[in-house]
Structure 1
Amino acid sequence: MSHPVESHPAFPILIGDIGGTNARFWILTDAAADPLQFPNVRTAEHSGIEAALAVDVFSKTTIKPRSAILAIAGPIEGDDIPLTNCDWVIRPKSLIAELGFEDVIVINDFEAQALAIATLPEDARETVGSLSSAPLASRVVLGPGTGLGVAGLLRARDTWFPIPGEGGHVDLGPRSDRDFQVFPFIEQIEGRISAEQILCGRGLVNLYRAVCRADGVEPAFTDPADITAQALSGVNKQASETLTLFVTYLGRVAGDMALVMMAKGGVYLAGGISQKIVPALKRPEFRAAFEDKAPHSTLMRHIPTFVVTHPQAALAGLASYARAPQSFGLATAGRRWRR
């Protein structure tokens, strides 16, 4: 059965990456043009996206976008789309009625990250391990940040298909003797420990407290950045072990996701935390945990891993889609509104 080809969003196109704290916007005037970029918007400073766009985007340019493609940190169900970690509610019908858009597409933020790794240049990634090239094959992106985002990128029929999901909520359990000492002190949610309970900013603090309790010492730090800084400097024993365990568990989960997707094109670590802990990721523990997937350890040794270093990778991914939507099998049913 043949399927109708969706019409391409009309230029100029506003693209946006909207998280719990910051929103970032570009405007593409046409498929060949460099993006018109705007300063980061603090979501707490505006009542909603309409006010933010009016003050921080449209007041700074005479270009009037006809279409919008937005990536948001939150589930997309219905015409009112709340963000998970801020008070904004995205209402595409309001954007059309109040701001004059003809076409609005809303996708998950990690779908945008998946779009980014489809076309990410080598100078926008840092190699972790000995493999520096990435075959044109299916990929996975993980991002420890406010939570743990995961998305797949399937390569089939010369097309990239972004696969959203909730892989950050898979179970994560102990394996080593030290794990069994630490895990009883990790805070659970309804009787289970998911990967996100450890592999995110608050998860790093959760893990640090568990390490301290296992050692019988009082935690000295409550901020993820402080724990990371102490760990990278080697000053604090518990912080150092926390970061070592963090990258070990991240390696395990990244390896699991690689197996699920058969991601021979590589596994990409996105987000600010990954960029800040590159030195720790380049130590042996991450790749050792990633490859320790008997009976498939040989397969895992041939899958490359990278840290995404592009400062605005999600916007770059959205721009790639906006310029050539025919190259991506992005499902927009229920996520596209037109005048």
Structure 2
Amino acid sequence: MLAQVAPIQSEQLFLAADVGGTHVRIGLIRAERGAALQVRAYAKFRCADYAGLADIIEEFRAGLDGSARAGVVVIASAGYPLLDGTVIAANLPWPLSPARIREQLQLQAVHLVNDFEAVAHAVAHLDASEVQRVCGPERVAAGPLLVLGPGTGLGAAVWIPAGPRAVVLATEAGQAALAVSTELEMDLLRQMLTQRSHVPVEHALSGPGLLNLYLALCALRGATPAHAHPSAITAAALAGDDPLARESLEAFCGLLGSAVGDMALLYGVRGVYLAGGILPQMREFLMQSSFVARFLDKGPMREALEGVAVKLVEHGQLGVIGAASWYLGSEFLEL
């Protein structure tokens, strides 16, 4: 995918990194006046294999041609930035400080953007071939778009058209309290509340959240857990030979549909993009689950939600391209 961006005055060469709790995806970006930005080099790293983001950036830069060792890095990451430049990021395995990275690597500049804010900047440029319809109209109506995705946590942002340049609202929707509807969900929530006083949305709707749901269900059923990782639960559910895994994944999809419906109404969006994370692994299961029914089950607002297009995004480089698109349209770029 080549993302269209606002015209620039000269060629720009910089790095864009999408930092998640499990993986860091990083690309060398080339942008030129009148052309689409290009990902000239790209790699994915496991966070657990490195002591910090600076080590990952340095390894990536070391593999580039000397003339391509860009001095500007744009980081898209989950978390809440503090006034001192550090980031509160519950799902990262190490601290994140753009100022320290810039100093350590002697970079010209390091910029930080919320990961789903970055994705929202990219999603408006997606081709039809890069998304799959989940429900609603084939064509997304003009208006705000919600972009969210469960991965190591749950991220969400709202893309708002506002003249020549859109406004993106970064959110911490994953930290809002989990709302439940069915008797089973109430039991699962009560079980999770025995271990913590606040159960946020991402405690159920993320990779670790799927494991939390599974462990809570096993406790309710008096069963010994057979799986210790979300991927194993998903695989067992898709194979159809583990009823508890399948019930956990169905509960996950139902809760996700309900939460997405709530957010669509809360932000008044015309389209929803379910981006990246763990969803592509369970695409067919999601399509056949209670997701759509729960998304629409909002009483008299059902008719309004029937007009909201819900799409599943497949593109693996979306966060990198989004970070680059944000930077090219930001106040940091000299035009």
TM over 0.5: yes
SS at match of 2:237: helix
Contact 1:116 / 1:317 at 8 angstroms: preserved in 2?
Answer: yes
Report the CA distance between 1:120 and its aligned residue.
1.6
Report the CA distance between 1:83 and its aligned residue.
4.9
**Cα distance change on mapping 1:174 and 1:30 into 2, 3 Å:** closer
Instruction: Write the distance in 2 (CA, Å) between the matches of 1:99 and 1:69.
Output: 15
**Cα distance change on mapping 1:184 and 1:9 into 2, 3 Å:** farther
Aligned partner of 1:176 among 176, 182, 188: 182
CA deviation string 1:160-196 (max 9, x = no partner): 2111111112222332233334332224664232211
Instruction: Write the distance in 2 (CA, Å) between the matches of 1:165 and 1:58.
Output: 35
**Cα distance change on mapping 1:22 and 1:68 into 2, 3 Å:** same
Please name the residue that 2:106 is paired with: 99
Instruction: Write the distance in 1 (CA, Å) between the matches of 2:152 and 2:31.
Output: 33
**Cα distance change on mapping 1:161 and 1:183 into 2, 3 Å:** same
Instruction: Write the distance in 2 (CA, Å) between the matches of 1:284 and 1:41.
Output: 32
SS at match of 2:139: coil
Aligned partner of 1:278 among 280, 283, 294: 283
**Cα distance change on mapping 1:288 and 1:9 into 2, 3 Å:** farther
Contact 1:231 / 1:243 at 8 angstroms: preserved in 2?
Answer: yes
Structure 1 stretch displaced more, 51-60 or 220-229: 51-60
Report the CA distance between 1:97 and its aligned residue.
7.7
SS at match of 2:293: helix
Structure 1 stretch displaced more, 293-302 or 35-44: 35-44
Contact 1:47 / 1:88 at 8 angstroms: preserved in 2?
Answer: no
Contact 2:136 / 2:307 at 8 angstroms: preserved in 1?
Answer: no
Question: Is the aligned partner of 1:56 residue 2:57?
Answer: no
Please name the residue that 1:125 is paired with: 131
Contact 2:150 / 2:205 at 8 angstroms: preserved in 1?
Answer: yes
Instruction: Write the distance in 2 (CA, Å) between the matches of 1:9 and 1:281.
Output: 44
CA deviation string 1:269-290 (max 9, x = no partner): 1223111111122115111111
Please name the residue that 1:290 is paired with: 295
SS at match of 2:198: coil
Please name the residue that 2:3 is paired with: none
Please name the residue that 1:41 is paired with: 45
Aligned partner of 1:258 among 261, 264, 272: 264
Question: Is the aligned partner of 1:317 residue 2:322?
Answer: yes
Instruction: Write the distance in 2 (CA, Å) between the matches of 1:66 and 1:76.
Output: 22
Gaps of 5+ in 2: 1-7
Contact 1:188 / 1:197 at 8 angstroms: preserved in 2?
Answer: no
Aligned partner of 1:216 among 217, 222, 230: 222
Instruction: Write the distance in 2 (CA, Å) between the matches of 1:169 and 1:217.
Output: 29
Please name the residue that 1:87 is paired with: 94
CA deviation string 1:242-289 (max 9, x = no partner): 11111110001101111111111x111122311111112211511111
With normalisation by structure 1, the TM-score equals 0.85
Please name the residue that 1:3 is paired with: none
Q: Percent identity, aligned pairs only?
A: 28
Please name the residue that 2:25 is paired with: 24
SS at match of 2:137: coil
CA deviation string 1:104-154 (max 9, x = no partner): 321111111111212122122121125322123211111111111111111
Equivalences for 1:161-172 in 2 at 5 Å? 161-172=167-178
Root-mean-square deviation (CA, aligned residues, Å) is: 2.7
Instruction: Write the distance in 2 (CA, Å) between the matches of 1:168 and 1:248.
Output: 16
Equivalences for 1:111-260 in 2 at 5 Å? 111-187=117-193, 190-260=196-266
Structure 1 stretch displaced more, 238-247 or 31-40: 31-40
Question: Matched residue pairs, number?
Answer: 321
**Cα distance change on mapping 1:119 and 1:73 into 2, 3 Å:** same
